């Protein structure tokens, strides 16, 4: 079993140490990402990064918030080994197990009380700043204005047909997994992660009739930057990839690569929505 934690979160150390004790007590081999071992002061079979670690284990425990899991998902995309997120952060839609529930969660794992769910990434490619760009994301690809408080103008085509020109703060192309992230904050729909769709959500559009759009997962989006100023920014899962200039074209589509998430018995997306978003059905 492999352990990966957010090396910038000191609070991860105790949970990683507890997991190491439980794994060893169960007679399993302990494997660690090097930075995680350093964080927790542990010894074991060490690997330089998650991509190397994933090839040596049958399950990867990821300790941190959703940002940590997103980072690991991009690194290991395409691997068959499942990952289970242990939440050290706050909201944690992807990190399914709270840190104080680690012991019972691993008991479920030892007893085989779990299922797997495949989550596809989305990818972007094109020209930006005079060079070729390529990136992938589990949650979303975003093209937005930078620090300047001015609208950007973006022309969007779907499968080669012009859709519209948006004047807005930016556009979010989201996977179903990412529908509960930036897209939700921008007014997008909550989408079941097993749905075969893509979501396109404008950020603060100037035209009020511009609404979030749900597209088939087979759709190819082409986004062309029209406005020369301010510079637009391309980001993947919140990580800046490049600045974009007028005339730059970015193509966004579903990736062939995916990750496998482990779900413990008794968990579901409906239960996650009720718990994380406090959907109780009560009146105000």
C-alpha span between 257 and 121 (Å, rounded):
6
Catalytic residue among 14, 49, 58, 66: 66
C-alpha span between 196 and 221 (Å, rounded):
15
- In DSSP notation, the chain reads -EEEE-TT-TTHHHHHHHHHHHHHHTTPPPEEEHHHHHHHT--SEEESSHHHHGGG-S-EEEEE-HHHHHHHHHHHTT--SEEEEEE-SSS-SS--EEGGGHHHHHHHHHTT-EEEEEEEEEEEEEEETTEEEEEEESSEEEEEE-SS-S-EEEEEEETTEEEEEEEESEEEEE-SGGGGTHHHHTTPPP--TTS-EEEEEEES-SSTT---EEEETT--EEEEE---SSPEEEEETTEEEEEE-TT-EEEEEEEEEEEEEEEETT--HHHHHHHHS-------
Active site residue 169: no
Burial (CB < 10 A; 0-12, 13-18, 19+), residue 185, is exposed
Query: Residues with catalytic annotation?
Result: 66
């Amino acid at each position: 079993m492999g352990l990966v934690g957010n090396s910038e979160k000191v609070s991860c150390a105790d949970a990683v140490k507890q997991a190491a004790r439980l794994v060893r007590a169960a007679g399993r081999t302990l494997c660690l990402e090097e930075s995680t071992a350093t964080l927790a002061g542990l010894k074991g079979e060490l690997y330089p990064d998650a991509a190397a670690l994933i090839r040596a284990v049958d399950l990867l425990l990821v300790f941190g918030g959703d940002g940590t899991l997103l980072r690991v998902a991009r690194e290991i995309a395409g691997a068959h080994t499942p990952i289970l997120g242990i939440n050290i952060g706050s909201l944690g839609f992807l990190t399914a197990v709270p840190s104080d529930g680690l012991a019972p969660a691993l008991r479920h794992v030892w007893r085989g009380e779990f299922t797997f769910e495949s989550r596809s990434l989305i990818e972007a490619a094109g020209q930006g700043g005079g060079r070729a760009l390529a990136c992938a994301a589990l949650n979303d690809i975003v093209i937005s204005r930078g620090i300047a408080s001015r609208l950007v103008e973006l022309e969007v085509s779907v499968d080669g047909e012009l859709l519209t020109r948006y004047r807005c703060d930016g556009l979010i192309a989201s996977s179903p997994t990412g529908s509960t992230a930036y897209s939700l904050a921008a007014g997008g729909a909550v989408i079941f992660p097993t749905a075969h769709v893509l979501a396109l959500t404008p950020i603060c559009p100037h035209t009020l009739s511009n609404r979030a759009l749900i597209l088939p997962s087979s759709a190819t989006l082409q986004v062309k930057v029209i406005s020369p100023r301010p510079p637009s920014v391309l980001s993947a899962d919140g990580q800046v990839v490049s600045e974009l200039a007028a005339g730059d074209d970015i193509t966004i589509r579903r990736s062939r690569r995916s990750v496998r998430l482990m779900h413990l018995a008794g968990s579901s997306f409906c239960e996650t929505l009720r718990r994380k978003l406090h959907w109780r059905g009560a009146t105000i």
